[in-house]
Amino acid sequence: MAVLLYDNAFSGNCYKVRLLLTLLGIEFERREVSVVEYGERLATLRGLSPTLNIPAVVLDDGRPLAESNAILWYFAERSRYLSEDPYERGQVLQWMFFEQYKHEPGIAVPRFWDAIAPERFPRPDDLKVRRASGRDALKVMERHLREHAYFVGERFTIADIALYAYTHVAPEAGLDLEPLPAVRAWLGRVAAEPGLIAIED
Amino acid sequence: MAVLLYDNAFSGNCYKVRLLLTLLGIEFERREVSVVEYGERLATLRGLSPTLNIPAVVLDDGRPLAESNAILWYFAERSRYLSEDPYERGQVLQWMFFEQYKHEPGIAVPRFWDAIAPERFPRPDDLKVRRASGRDALKVMERHLREHAYFVGERFTIADIALYAYTHVAPEAGLDLEPLPAVRAWLGRVAAEPGLIAIED
């Protein structure tokens, strides 16, 4: 039985999982779930994801797991994409929690509103507030990447995968990467990683 | 050299770390950082936390680590508070990412606005929106806890610590726990855990 991925082609959170599984050579089957039609989620994702969100996977033994970064960690264990060193592992999680707390809400959400569902803006100022928070998150990355080639241990790990997913499409959220040369150089290094697939693949 | 904790007595995210270090019998020194005076953070936390946020720790070898749940993971490794089983470890992270993405922003933030800095409400509807999101997160917990004694593996882990920190003070955020009997029963089980300290300790 192959891994089953409840997926969406547009979602950066789902892309993270497709990307890592491909790099690891793990076979998976994609089941497309709409990011707009919330009605179908209860039927599809009940018992698989506590929040009824994608990505969610069903492992080859039938057990479910949700939350993009938890799925990355599960599959990356004992691979070259996650260190064995306790301190580096703590740092990988530090950047992955930063990604979900500060980065994704400031980039994924305005990108979704802009590109997919502009009628879902709850209030007119929200887009501005979200973008400002996305801009702050990108500046945090820029400061780190001025002195480091990657986020942890000077090599490509799942911390880079987690942060690459929405950073490389930040312009689709109305966020300019031009003033962030260290971020742009890092995007280039990640894109050159052997075996990397694109979000639209 | 003891572990150094950049801390705040009111913060649930800091409480998580105090709680785990106490349970593990690890000595630590608290350095109080204001959650209101952002100005002092740059000087205090530069080089310790990429986002200049607390909690941040300096380990006994002088290396820094930030993000509450990353710190929990680092210290819980090879202890009774984090399983060795790969699937259970994935589930612990699933609930910890849920906590930072959906739960903390819907409870910690309105609690902060209510209790500490009401003048910081950016816009009048924000409190309502945040509370609705906090209520949703508590319902996700209630559904899970109707069938389980704890979040992962039917025993107390760092997933429970991460979720306990703000759940047990949710009434301070204007969120009523009365309609959530399974959550209340779980709060009681966690509070009875040997060695547990209170947020005000």
Listed by start position, the domains of chain A span 3-76, 86-191
Residues B85/B87/B88/B94 CA torsion (nearest 10 deg)? 150
Residue B67 has its nearest CB partner, among A67, A86, A98, at: A98
How far is Cα B158 from Cα B131, in angstroms, rounded to an integer? 25
Fold of B3-76: Glutaredoxin (3.40.30)
Confidence label for B152 from pLDDT (cuts 50, 70 and 90)? very high
Q: d(Cα B103, Cα B106) in Å, to the nearest integer?
A: 5
Buried b (16+ CB within 10 A) or exposed e, B47-85: ebbbbbbbbbbbbeeeebbbbbbbbbbbbbeeeebbbee
Identity of the amino acid at B54:
I
List residues of A whose CB lies inside 8 A of any B CB: 50-51, 59, 63, 65-71, 73-74, 77, 86-87, 89-91, 93-98, 100-102, 104-105, 122-123, 125, 129, 140, 143-144
Q: How confident is the model at residue B155 (pLDDT cuts 50, 70, 90)?
A: very high
Its CATH architecture, for the domain A86-191, is Up-down Bundle (1.20)
The residue type found at B193 is E
Gap from A140 CA to chain B (nearest CA, Å): 6
**pTM exceeds cut of 0.80:** yes
CA–CA gap between residue B95 and residue B99 (Å, rounded): 6
Predicted confidence band of residue A185 (pLDDT cuts 50, 70, 90): very high
Q: Identify all chain A residues contacting B69, using CB atoms and an 8 Å cutoff.
A: 93, 97
Smallest CA–CA separation between B195 and chain A, in Å? Answer: 25
* Chain A positions in Cβ-Cβ contact with residue B85 (cut-off 8 Å): none
Cβ-Cβ contacts under 8 Å for B117 (sequence gap 6 or more): B36
User: Is the distance from CB of B160 to CB of B94 less than 8 angstroms?
Assistant: no
> A157 pLDDT exceeds 90?
yes
Alpha-carbon gap, residue A135 to A133, rounded angstroms: 5
**The two structure tokens encoding residue B180:** 């959530």
Asked whether the domain spanning A86-191 has the same topology as the one spanning A3-76, the reply is: no
Check CB contact under 8 Å for A73 and B51: no
Q: Which pair of structure tokens corresponds to residue A107? A: 């980039």
* Contact flag B90-A74 (C-beta cutoff 8 Å): yes
- Structural tokens at position A6: 């409840």
pLDDT at B1: 77
Q: Is the pLDDT of residue B120 over 70?
A: no
* d(CA A77, nearest CA chain B) in Å: 8
Indicate the pLDDT class of residue A124, thresholds 50, 70 and 90.
low
Q: In whole angstroms, how far apart are CA B91 and each of A49, B10, B183?
A: 11, 28, 18
Interface contact flag, A100 B104, Cβ < 8 Å: no
pLDDT of residue A151: 98
Interface of B with A (CB under 8 A): 50-51, 59, 63, 65-71, 73-74, 77, 86-87, 89-91, 93-98, 100-102, 104-105, 122-123, 125, 129, 140, 143-144
How big, in percent rounded to 5, are the helix, strand and coil portions of chain B?
55, 10, 40
| pLDDT computed for residue B7 by the predictor | 97
Segment A54-74 mean pLDDT: 98
Please classify residue A82 by burial: count the beta carbons closer than 10 Å to its beta carbon, then call 0-12 exposed, 13-18 middle and 19+ buried.
buried
pLDDT of residue B129: 87
Which residue in chain B has the smallest CA separation from A68?
B94
Mean of the pLDDT values across residues A19-48?
92
Q: Is the peptide bond before A181 cis (omega within 30 degrees of 0)?
A: no
Mean pLDDT over B30-45 rounds to: 87
CB of B71 within 8 A of CB of B55?
A: yes
For all residues of chain A together, what is the average pLDDT? 94
Q: How confident is the model at residue A42 (pLDDT cuts 50, 70, 90)?
A: confident
- What pairs with residue A56 in β-bridges? A6, A66
Residue B169 CA: distances (Å) to CA of A1, B15, B84, B85, B135: 44, 12, 30, 31, 13
What DSSP letter does each residue of A45-70 carry, written as one string?
HTTT-TT--S-EEE-TTS-EEESHHH
Closest Cβ–Cβ partner in B66, B91, B94 for A94: B66
Residue from A46, A49, A67, A121 to probe the interface with B (highest B Cβ count within 10 Å)? A67
**Could you tell me which chain B residue has the CA closest to the CA of A141?**
B50
Average pLDDT over residues A184-198: 97
